Amino acid sequence: MKKTITIKEIAKESGVSVSTVSRVLNNHPSVSPAKRAKVQAVIEKEGFQPSMLARGMISNKTKTLAVVVSDITNPYFTSLVSEIELASFEQNYSLLLFNTMTAGRQKKADSSFAERDTFNTIFEKKVDGVLILGGEIDRDEPNPEYLHTLEQLNSQVPVLIIGQKQENCSYVFIERDLEKGVFLSVQHLLALGHRSIGFIGGEPSVKITTQRVQAFEKVISLYSTFDPSLILLSDFYTEDGYQNMDTLIKQGPLPDAVLAINDRVALGAFRALADHGLSCPKDIAIASCDAFPDGDYQIPRITTINQHNQFLGKLAVTNLLKMINEEPLDTLEIHSPELIIRESCGIGRIQK
């Protein structure tokens, strides 16, 4: 159980003045590295809750939240940030958006360093809380230096992550039910008579990809024959869907259906089919794990999974504000994805 401590006790144990401790807690630059290290060592050794420190030592709030995303051009993040902004506005909070550009076409070479640099910038901005969407924290094995910097950030300000949990991390996670979304999509394809089903898109060694592929193999193995040659991983963008579908067409025979990791990957697959004189759903059915805006206006309209970003955004802001105000978190509501049936899966075909 965490101890309650006063600013005087921290000062005494670290051998510095009360004002020095206060400046360290507020990330004030006018503290020598040696003194800062002593204060931070005491805090880390005793394992104090950031919220307890905040209650006794940081009384003023900026009514500002930081949101860190890896690629704001990704429609998933764009939609989720919009919902977070609406939920924050309702609580009279404003947002500072940090786009680390650690994914997508403008991806930086050392993504973990770019995010660590962003965390150091956030230290200086006096925000009340931090929301992290994607990036290094989503990897199967995040960079240890990244995790250490994130722990330092969490020792200064509450951090909440919308993503899949990482072991041995003290921050709060809001997880999506990735397995359910995959099960809903694949069961729909199976119900239509499709048996040879592939999976396209998704960056390897990223939790969202790993968990969805595991769920895909699990549900396929229950009802049909799992074929690992029909799983083609790449990334989360339109060009990846194009390249993956092009590969499936060339390696042949074409499966009955594929599950794309998101609507953008599905869109790229549509284009690849057209370039080969094929079409969806006539020649192959396509479903998606993640609904993006305008999926109902593609040709064909995409059968997909509604991840309910409005629910996720509001839940994230509500719980982050509870952390900021040192209120106990309620049992987190369960995320429940929803299947949206449209044209891209067709009406099924006779089993071969």
The answer to whether the beta carbons of residues 198 and 269 sit under 8 Å apart is: no
Q: Which of 47-61, 157-171, 321-335 is predicted with the least confidence, judged by mean pLDDT? A: 47-61
Prediction pTM value: 0.78
Question: Is the pLDDT confidence value at 263 over 70?
Answer: yes
Rounded to an integer, the average pLDDT of 46-74 is: 69
Confidence of residue 51 (pLDDT cuts 50, 70, 90): very low
> What letter represents residue 12's amino acid?
K
Q: Residue 175 above 50 pLDDT? A: yes
Please tell me the distance from the alpha carbon of residue 31 to that of residue 277, in angstroms, as a whole number: 67
Domains, the chain, with CATH or none: 7-57 (1.10.260.40), 64-175 (3.40.50.2300), 178-306 (3.40.50.2300)
Instruction: Round to the nearest angstrom and report the end-to-end CA distance of the chain.
Output: 61
Q: Is 95 exposed, middle or buried (0-12, 13-18, 19+ CB in 10 A)?
A: middle
pLDDT band at 229 (very low <50, low <70, confident <90, very high): very high
Q: Given this model, what pLDDT does residue 174 score?
A: 92
pLDDT digits over 136-147, tens only? 999 999 999 989
Work out whether the CA dihedral 40, 113, 164, 306 comes out positive or negative. positive
- What is the tens place of the pLDDT at every residue in 57-67? 444 678 899 99
The answer on pLDDT for 350 being more than 70 is: no
Question: Does the pLDDT value for residue 53 go beyond 60?
Answer: no
Tokens 């991983």, located at residue: 233
Banded pLDDT at 39 (limits 50, 70, 90): confident
Task: Please state the rounded mean pLDDT for residues 66-82.
Answer: 92
pLDDT at 52 over 60: no
pLDDT tops 70 at residue 239: yes
* Overall residue count recorded for the chain in this entry: 352
d(CA 61, CA 94): 12
For residues 110 and 191, what is the distance between their CA atoms, to the nearest angstrom?
44
d(CA 287, CA 303): 5
pLDDT in the model for residue 21: 78
Q: Which residue has the higher pLDDT, 241 or 335?
A: 241
Query: Which of 27-31, 120-124, 153-157, 334-338 has the least mean pLDDT?
Result: 27-31
Per residue in 117-158, pLDDT (tens digit) is 888 888 888 899 999 999 999 999 999 998 988 988 888 899
Side chain identity, residue 14: S
